[in-house]
Amino acid sequence: MPEKTPNTNPRPVRKERPYRSINGYGVTAVVLLLIAVGVWAIVQRLMPLPMSILLIVIGLVLIPGLYMLQPNEGIILTLFGEY
């Protein structure tokens, strides 16, 4: 009876996980609202300047994460280069 050889594959097994996203139109509205409130707060001097700038920066950081898929398109989401 042949002996079983141990698995010598150095690569770990990757498993696909389904991903559910939230409504992009709502996120777009929130991002634009963050930027608008930050600018408005600077103009009206409603809150300290660093907080207003933080709102604008958060809104600008979130913008590149918005993308639209066309019909019959797919995308792979990676986190820090890991699939």
Identify whether 25 is part of a domain. Answer: no
Identify whether 58 is part of a domain. Answer: yes
Is the pTM of the predicted complex or chain greater than 0.75?
no
Residue pLDDT, tens place only, 7-21: 666 777 777 777 777
| pLDDT higher than 70, residue 38 | yes
Q: Domain range spanning residue 54?
A: 31-64
- What is the distance between the alpha carbons of residues 13 and 10, in angstroms, rounded to a whole number? 9
Residue 79 pairs in a beta bridge with: 82
Q: What is the DSSP letter of 11?
A: S
pLDDT band at 58 (very low <50, low <70, confident <90, very high): very high
Identify whether 79 is part of a domain. Answer: no
Identify whether 52 is part of a domain. Answer: yes
Identify whether 16 is part of a domain. Answer: no
Identify whether 50 is part of a domain. Answer: yes
| pLDDT higher than 70, residue 43 | yes
Tally the domains of the chain.
1
Identify whether 24 is part of a domain. Answer: no
Identify whether 5 is part of a domain. Answer: no
pLDDT-above-70 percentage for the chain: 83
